[in-house]
Amino acid sequence: MRLIFEKGAFGRRGFKIPKKDVPIDAKFPQKYKRVKEPDLPQVSELDVVRHYTNLSRMNFSVDTNFYPLGSCTMKYNPKFTEKIAALPGFTDVHPLLPQLGGGGILTQGSLEVIYKTEEFLSEITGMSGFTMQPLAGAHGELTGAMIIASFHKFNGNRRKYIIVPDSSHGTNPASAAIAGYEVIVIPTDENGCMDIDKFKEKLTQDVAGVMLTCPNTLGLFNSSIKEIADLAHSVGALMYYDGANLNAIIGKSRPGDIGFDIVHLNLHKTFSTPHGGGGPGSGPVGVNEELLKFLPIPRIAKRVDGTFALDYSYKDSIGYIAPFYGNFSVILKAYAYMVYLGKSGLIDVAEKAVLNANYCRVLLKKYFEVPYGRICMHEFVLSASKQKENGVSALDIAKYLIDNGVHPPTIYFPLSVVEAMMIEPTETESKKTLDNFVELMIEAAKLAQDSPSTLHDAPKNMPVGRLDETKAARDLNLRWHSKKE
Amino acid sequence: MNVKDNQFYTNEHEWVSIEGSKARIGITDYAQHSLGDITFIELPEIGKKIEQFKQFATVESVKAASDVYAPLTGIVVEVNATLVNQPELLNSSPYEEGWFAVIEIDNIEESNKLMDASAYKKYIEEIAH
């Protein structure tokens, strides 16, 4: 497909800028003035509409295709939440309004949504309070790590390390490092969970916190979790729960009851708000009673008369971590989702997510290596190691799936599994969709035996064939240059 | 998988070749193989002190980004600048042109914690099964 720059014709316009009818101060410093005309596409409105509509049709999305991208939880985003988030009563509120004199009373609805979402999440996770401010999961992790740091500083006891198992969510080590900690990575044992002996070895008075993803990235629930929490607490370290995989246990088990002190959730995973192609995420952070005072300001307070207000009176707070109150429309969508599903609906989410993953796992274990074969939670990891013996890699299988209308699973992650394929069907898929996926995977396993070259040549039905990923990474060419240059 | 004699290995797949008071460091053929096509390498600065089994460099491939750990403690005296511009050298020649850095060895006794070539050979055979 041609770029929009290569479409259109010289002088073609989709928009006419009206003549200015107000005097403009022309004393704009010369050095800031453009010397050359900007090289913009010269296209009509219809050119633009066709270009982007066609681009969007080439896209893979959960609205068009099955999308079992493990770890990411690409579940369907119900459309009614969009409708609610578009209500003018919410979209027309200026974020500064509740901070202005008399503005609080005009923003009660929005403040109540944030307050109630915090309440819901506290109930679901067993925590004492939440901040809705973090703008993405990793931002939530950083907020959590900063709370860990504030807690130890408050107790006059700065610590040096954060422990992260290698089966944790991929962003954990980076978040801990950005917060100023040195990261100790603990390997996975033969059961697919953190090696508890190695953990004990590394756990000292210098460890500030332990970041765990449970169920972990292999889709496995760590049954020693209580023991790990007790060990960590015995040396004064805090337990951090990465809620990336809460989808699997929502309504079944609460991190707060297991012994976690800090929790972050990904609203775009568990509560089905969109994964906006790098767009707005939301990573609220919950804490236990003792850590409430460190949460970012402003917090939302409920007054005795039942009205809501911004509360800045937390002197030990870690301060501001986001402009205003987080991605409000995302919070609103998650709130609507929770109200709509209710308690029984949310429990059903966890049950179906786990059932769907295990259904696929059991049907596929004859054909692929399953490194940790026990009952999984919401996702499972296969290895293409058997297929690799015939020269077929996880990447080849991924490309074959794309060709057949299925988004590939996450491949080559977690790193602890060779030729890993991480599959997360999510709860919203029907048995028919799952059966179709399983059939395709079995077909791929057969082709790996009988005709490896078919897989090497995939994809064939896509707008582009097999791309040279190495060249793309080594030899970046991100800018279009017109022929005149 | 190629394992070169007369040098030491770590279980994170780094190699180290002792050259008098200095040591040359890189990652093994097994490591480059499992990483796939290398696209980016970040090396330490000259003069930096690196510590045994602590991270000192980063390697990115089309599959993943991985930390590289120092096989011995020492001060970095030389880095392979060519490798930064031609990361593919790590795939084609992990033991020769694909070296990472040369360090001034702090304590040669630390090499007791490393594997020799035959032990490393056995080690990678074991993890393959």
CATH code at position A442 = 3.90.1150.10
| Residue B44: inside a domain | yes
Touching check for B37 and chain A: CB below 8 Å? yes
Residues A242 and A211: beta-carbon distance below 8 Å: yes
A69 belongs to a structural domain? no
pLDDT at A162 over 90: yes
Q: How far apart are CA B65 and CA B61, in angstroms?
A: 6
Can you give the pLDDT at residue A483? 67
Residue A330 has pLDDT above 70, yes or no: yes
pLDDT at A51: 96
Q: Is the dihedral angle over the CA atoms A102, A105, A109, A111 positive or is it negative?
A: positive
The answer to whether position B18 is within a domain reads yes
CB-based contact A213:A172 (threshold 8 Å): yes
Which chain B residues are within 8 Å of A470, Cβ to Cβ? Answer: 37, 39, 62
Whether B1 is in a domain gets the answer no
At A169 the pLDDT is 80
- Predicted confidence (pLDDT) at residue A485 exceeds the cutoff of 60: no
Q: Using a CB-CB distance cutoff of 8 angstroms, which residues of chain A are in contact with residue B66?
A: 415
**A78 C-beta neighbours (distance < 10 Å), count:** 16
The total number of structural domains in chain A stands at 3
What's the predicted TM-score (pTM) here? Answer: 0.88
- Lowest mean pLDDT segment, chosen from A275-279, A416-420, A437-441, A442-446: A275-279
Q: Has residue A335 got a pLDDT over 90?
A: yes
End-to-end CA distance of chain A: give it in Å, rounded.
Answer: 22
**In terms of residue numbers, what domain contains A292?**
81-339
Q: Do residues A31 and A98 share a domain?
A: no
- pLDDT class of A70 with cuts at 50, 70, 90: very high
Q: Among A306, A339, A372, identify where a domain stops.
A: A339
Percent of chain B with pLDDT over 90: 89
Looking at the structure, do residues A52 and A13 belong to the same domain, yes or no? yes
Is pLDDT above 90 for A405?
yes
Contact A474 B88 (CB under 8 A): yes
Q: Where residue A282 sits, what CATH number does that domain have?
A: 3.40.640.10
Neighbours of B58 (CB within 10 A): 14
Tell which A residues from 88 to 117 touch B, by Cβ distance under 8 Å. Answer: none
Instruction: Tell me the per-residue pLDDT of B58-108, one tens digit each, with 9 for 90 and over.
Output: 999 988 888 999 999 999 999 999 999 999 999 999 999 999 999 999 999
Decide if A67 is inside a domain. no
From chain B residues 56-75, the ones with a CB under 8 A of any chain A CB are: 60, 62-64, 66
Min Cα–Cα distance to chain A from B37, Å: 6
Residue A139 has pLDDT above 90, yes or no: yes
The reported pLDDT for the residue numbered A475 is 84
pLDDT band for position A22 (cuts 50, 70, 90): confident
Q: In sequence order, which residues have a C-beta less than 8 Å from that of residue A371 and are 6 or more positions away?
A: A192, A218, A381, A383, A417
Could you tell me if the ipTM is greater than 0.85?
no
Rounded mean pLDDT of chain A? 93
A320 DSSP assignment? -
Say yes or no: B81 contacts chain A, CB-CB below 8 A.
Answer: no
- Residue pair A129/A122 in contact (Cβ under 8 Å)? The answer is yes
In a domain, B72, yes or no: yes
Q: Say yes or no to pLDDT of A38 above 90.
A: no
Q: Which of A369, A418, A469, A476 best probes binding to B when mutated, by most B CB atoms within 10 angstroms?
A: A469
Q: Give the gap in angstroms from C-alpha B88 to the nearest C-alpha of chain A.
A: 9
Domain of residue B46, residue span: 8-128
Q: Which residues pair with A338 in a beta bridge?
A: none
Find tokens 């295709």 and name the residue: A65
Do residue A285 and residue A378 come from a single domain?
no
**Domain CATH number, residue B13:** 2.40.50.100
Residue B33: closest CA among chain A residues belongs to which residue?
A: A418
Residue A106 lies in a domain: yes
pLDDT, residue A472, reads 87
pLDDT of residue A373: 82
**Is B73 within the bounds of a domain?**
yes
Yes or no, beta carbons of B62 and A413 under 8 Å apart = no
User: A234-288, pLDDT tens digit by residue?
Assistant: 999 999 999 999 999 999 999 999 999 999 999 999 999 988 655 688 999 999 9
Q: Are residues A104 and A51 both part of a single domain?
A: no
- Say yes or no to pLDDT of A135 above 60: yes
Residues A159 and A35 in one domain: no
Question: Is the C-alpha dihedral spanning A437, A410, A228, A137 positive or negative?
Answer: negative
User: From CA A410, how far away is CA A173, in angstroms rounded?
Assistant: 19
Strand segments (E) across A76-115: none
Q: Collect all residues of chain A within an 8 Å Cβ-Cβ radius of residue B68.
A: none
Residues A373 and A335 in one domain: no
Total number of domains in chain B:
1
What pLDDT is recorded for position A397?
98
How many pairs of residues across A and B have Cβ atoms under 8 Å apart? 20
Helix axes A431-450, A394-403, angle to 10 degrees: 130
For the residues of A450-472, what is the DSSP string, one character each? Answer: H-HHHHHH---SSSS-S--HHHH
- The arrangement of strands across the sheet holding A285-287 comes to A129-131, A285-287, A262-265, A238-243, A207-213, A161-165, A182-186
pLDDT at residue A480 tops 90: no
Structural domain includes residue A333: yes
Mean per-residue pLDDT, A409-435: 93
Answer whether residue A174 is part of any domain: yes
Q: Distance (Å, rounded) from C-alpha A298 to C-alpha A317?
A: 9
| Chain B environment of A413 (Cβ under 8 Å) | 64
Interface test with B, best of A190, A385, A415 (most B CBs within 10 A): A415
Q: What is the pLDDT of residues B112-123, one digit of tens each?
A: 999 999 999 999
Helix (H) or strand (E) holding A148: helix A137-154
Other beta carbons less than 10 A from residue B4's beta carbon:
16
Task: Inform me whether the pLDDT recorded for A208 exceeds 70.
Answer: yes
Determine the pLDDT at residue A235.
Answer: 97
Judge if A238 and A291 occupy the same domain.
Answer: yes
**Model pLDDT, residue A59:** 85
Percentage of chain A modeled with pLDDT above 90? 76
Residue B110 lies in a domain: yes
Q: Report the gap between the CA of B116 and the closest CA in chain A (Å).
A: 23
- What does the alpha-carbon distance between residue A415 and residue A133 come to, in Å, rounded to a whole number? 31
Highest mean pLDDT among A27-41, A117-131, A319-333: A117-131
Best interface-test mutation with B: which of A198, A412, A416, A417 has the largest number of B CBs within 10 A? A412
